[in-house]
Chain A
Amino acid sequence: MRPYAIQLPNGAKDSLFSECRVRRELESALAGLFEQRGYNEIIPPTLEYYDTFLRTGNTLPEEEMYKVIDRDGRILVMRPDLTTPIARVYATKLKQAPVPQRLYYIQNIFRSGHSLKGQDTEITQAGVELIGTNDFKSDLEILSLAVKSLEICSLKRFHIEIGHSGLFRALVRQLDCGDETAEEIRRYTEQKNFAALSDLLDKYRHMPAMHSLTKLIGMFGGEEILSEARALSDDEGSRQCIDYLESLYRELKLAGMEEYIRFDLGLVNRINYYTGIVFLGYAEGIGEPVLAGGRYDGLTAVFGVEAPATGFGINLNSILKQLPQKQVEPRETLIHYESGRLGDALALLSDDSLGRSELSPCETVEETYRLAKARDAKRVIILKSSGERDEINIDSTEKRL
């Protein structure tokens, strides 16, 4: 046999029965929620030009994208994210449409992970984008939708941590340290590498912003973080960011969501991509963020149309691993039909009073009966050519024999 004939590539997986059902139920619950909140579905193609994904400020490492060469020799990729295609769709097909546009997707993305590190290469993402508005209320709408989405995922304990990309930018601007150092500060802040950050910032000891930056890295937790942050800096830019977060919190609290909202002011991943709030969702027992989002007002501009945008994506794979698997119940009824009764048999399949039923492929009633017992079915219905209908109930005591 050829060596790869029955193996799966690393990171690929089959889903069977109950796993599929849990997944489909979750997908349709999320789709229902998104529709209810006024979002419309978009299904972009799986394959798109490589160039499309090089446009955004959020380019993945080349080796993480699966590539295909089309018949004309152009490079296509299996989409590594869905935000880019949504932005492309907006800029090419919806630019004349009235704003705001509320869009959602539930599709798979593909990432060629590191080999043998146990990472999925095909990930189902559910996400929304609210395009065309950059006001307070759209951030509020997206955050409350993020909370509700995780709530219907039936996770044990979860919360969303909000930061503001403007805060870090305002503080770094005061240091006047050049792009390279700024990136280093950002990286250490992202990694919460306290030691390396304070070493790096030591030479800016005389500047007040340096003290703020060294504190920023540890500023995550509940709303008390915001009052701590207030003491950080009297600079106008950073104060506005904190005011903004505080107003968001106030509204979310009044709407009864405060238990799900926390802050991480050191949240600086992909800071060049986000232009306002950024947020990540965490759930107990899951070792990676299950939700990521924020405001990226430059998103559609790379495709030639300026429009502010905010949104988030949920990683359904990591959530599904955490959800309890349901058992698939056996079919309750087997339908044995004789010549001429196929139509009636098919009609019975949709009769809900029989429970879930299936056709028997057997020639004789005896064989059907044996099959029903082996399948743990409750009854056999026999449709005879004469037009008669019989029913055999399978005794549960007899089933054990």
Chain B
Amino acid sequence: MIDRMKIALTKGRLEEKAIELFEKSGISCSPLKTETRKLVHSLPEDPIDVLLVKAQDVITYVEHGVCDMGIVGKDTILEYGSSFFEVLDLKFGKCKLVLAAKDGEDLYGKYRDLRIATKYPGVARNHFEKKGINVEIIKIESSVEIAPLVGLADAIVDIVETGTTLRENGLVIVEEIANVSARLIVNIASMKIKRPHILDFVSRLSSAL
């Protein structure tokens, strides 16, 4: 009997792109393309079950080994990731993690700790730790760009795709922190226990990239 593999996809845009890539690699995803509320789908031709979850949960499921693999953005990996294999850069969902502030703001000329608003407190802390600068981090869940405008923070750390939102809110990129794209991650034990199936899946995806 062939072991079934479970793969967790990040719901939304990464999910669509991932399905596109799967189909290109010859993995039929018909059940995923019909409008439905179902969150677990068994693929018809391959021994694969697909789970649709939020980005951060992809990591949790893969780390616990309840999913063998996951597709998740590098931003989420940098923020939450710890122990799994990161085997493929899938080259879609590309954007950048940046530090941004109001145009004309003299960020490093202040004689006090900077306040940084972000959805990525871990990424922000690491970035400033490397620079040797103390900052106070405020966790914001959405539309982080507002924070500097209303004076809650001096700058933000966030993902930027085209830069339109930043521009329209009078913010500019101060520093680029990391390049982001979707990654295929694999549970450490699954890689070893289901080696042939996983390596086969990885090579199918990578040849379709």
CB nearest to A194 among chain B residues = B87
Q: Which residues of A contact B188 (CB under 8 A)?
A: 287-289
Q: What's the least CB distance linking A243 to chain B, in Å?
A: 24
Asked if B65 and A287 make an inter-chain contact with CB atoms under 8 angstroms apart, the answer reads: yes
In the complex, whether B86 has a CB less than 8 A from a CB of chain A is yes
Look across to chain A and name the residue whose beta carbon is closest to the beta carbon of B88.
A195
Per-residue interface assignment for chain B, residues 166 to 204, with 1 indicating a CB less than 8 Å from any chain A CB and 0 otherwise: 000000000000000000001111111101000000000
A155 to B37: give the CA distance in the assembly, Å: 37
Contact of A287 with B66 in the complex, beta carbons under 8 Å: yes
Query: Shortest distance in angstroms between B1's beta carbon and chain A's nearest beta carbon?
Result: 13
Minimum C-beta distance from B192 to chain A (A): 5
Assembled-state Cα–Cα distance A283/B85 (Å) = 17
Q: Which residue of A lies closest to B191 (CB)?
A: A192
Instruction: Decide: A192 and B189 in contact? CB cutoff 8 A.
Output: no
- A287 near B87 (CB under 8 angstroms)? no
B59-100 residues at the A interface, CB under 8 angstroms: 60, 63-66, 83-89
Kindly provide the distance from the CB of B208 to the nearest chain A CB, expressed in whole angstroms.
15
**Min CB gap A68→B, angstroms:** 26
Closest to A195 in B: B89
Residue A157 is within 8 A (CB to CB) of chain B in the complex: yes
Complex interface residues of chain B between 128 and 160 (CB less than 8 A to chain A)? none
Distance from B200 Cβ to chain A, minimum over Cβ atoms (Å) = 13
Contact among A161, A196, A284, A287 for B64, CB-based, below 8 A: A287
Query: In the docked arrangement, what's the CA distance between A264 and B64, Å?
Result: 21
Beta-carbon contact of B86 and A192 below 8 Å? yes
A286 touches B192 (CB 8 A): no
Say whether B189 contacts A282, CB under 8 Å: yes
CA distance A262 to B85 in the complex (A): 18
How far apart sit A346 and B85, CA to CA, in the bound complex (Å)? 59
Which of A192, A220, A284 meets B87, CB within 8 Å? A192
**Interface flag for A117 (CB, 8 Å):** yes
**A289 CA / B190 CA spacing, docked (Å):** 10
B185 nearest in chain A by CB position = A191
- The one of B65, B84, B87, B192 that contacts A161, using a Cβ cutoff of 8 Å: B192
Q: Mark A242-264, 1 if CB is under 8 A from B, else 0.
A: 00000000000000000000101
Q: Is the CB of B189 within 8 A of A289?
A: yes
Judge whether A193 is part of the interface by a CB distance below 8 angstroms: yes
**In the complex, which residues of chain B have a beta carbon less than 8 angstroms from the beta carbon of A220?**
191-192, 195
Please name all residues of chain B whose beta carbon is closer than 8 Å to the beta carbon of A195 when the two chains form the complex: 88-89
Which of B60, B186, B187, B191 is the one whose CB lies under 8 Å from A117?
B60
- Whole-angstrom distance between the Cβ of B145 and the nearest chain A Cβ: 28
Chain B: number of interface residues, binned into ranges:
20 to 34
In the bound complex, what is the Cα–Cα distance between A286 and B66 (angstroms)? 9
Task: Assess whether A157 is in contact with B193, with CB atoms less than 8 Å apart.
Answer: yes
Q: Is the CB of B192 within 8 A of A194?
A: no
* Chain A residues numbered 47-80 whose CB sits less than 8 Å from any CB in chain B: none
Structural contact, A192 and B192, CB atoms closer than 8 A: no
Residues of B within 8 A of A208 (CB): none
CB nearest to B68 among chain A residues: A287
Residues in A neighbouring B193, C-beta threshold 8 A: 157, 282-284
Chain A residues within 8 Å of B87, by CB: 192-194
B3 nearest CB neighbor, chain A only = A284
How many angstroms between the C-alpha atoms of A47 and B63 in the bound complex? Answer: 30
Are the CB atoms of A192 and B186 closer together than 8 Å?
A: yes
User: Is A9 interfacial (CB 8 A cutoff)?
Assistant: no
Q: In the complex the two chains form, is B85's CB within 8 Å of A287's CB?
A: no
- Does A221 have its Cβ within 8 Å of any Cβ on chain B? yes
B70 to chain A, nearest CB (A): 12
A residues 76-102 with Cβ under 8 Å of B? none
- Is there an interface contact between B86 and A287, defined as CB atoms closer than 8 Å? no
Which residues on the A side are within 8 Å of B66 (C-beta)? 287
Instruction: Decide: A287 and B186 in contact? CB cutoff 8 A.
Output: no
Q: How many angstroms between the C-alpha atoms of A218 and B193 in the bound complex?
A: 15
Q: Is A118 an interface residue (CB 8 A)?
A: yes
- Name the CB-closest residue of B to A190: B85
Give every chain B residue within 8 A of A157 (Cβ-Cβ): 193
Q: Is the CB of A287 within 8 A of B187?
A: yes
Which residues does chain B contribute within 8 Å of A191, judged by CB atoms? 84-86
Q: Kindly identify, within residues 282 to 313 of chain A, every residue whose CB is under 8 Å from any CB belonging to chain B.
A: 282-284, 286-289
Query: With the chains together, A77 CA to B76 CA distance in Å?
Result: 32
Docked-complex contact A286 and B189, CB < 8 angstroms: yes
Q: A190 → chain B, closest Cβ, in Å?
A: 9
Residues of A within 8 A of B192 (CB): 159, 161, 220, 262, 264, 282
Nearest 4 CB-CB pairings of A with B: A287-B65, A192-B85, A195-B89, A193-B86
Given contacts A288-B65, A288-B188, list 4 more A-B pairs with CB under 8 A: A118-B64, A192-B186, A196-B89, A262-B192
Q: List 28 A-B contacts (CB under 8 A).
A: A117-B60, A118-B60, A159-B192, A161-B192, A191-B85, A191-B86, A192-B85, A192-B87, A193-B86, A194-B88, A195-B89, A196-B86, A220-B192, A264-B192, A283-B189, A284-B193, A287-B63, A287-B64, A287-B65, A287-B66, A287-B187, A287-B188, A287-B189, A288-B65, A288-B83, A288-B188, A288-B189, A289-B188
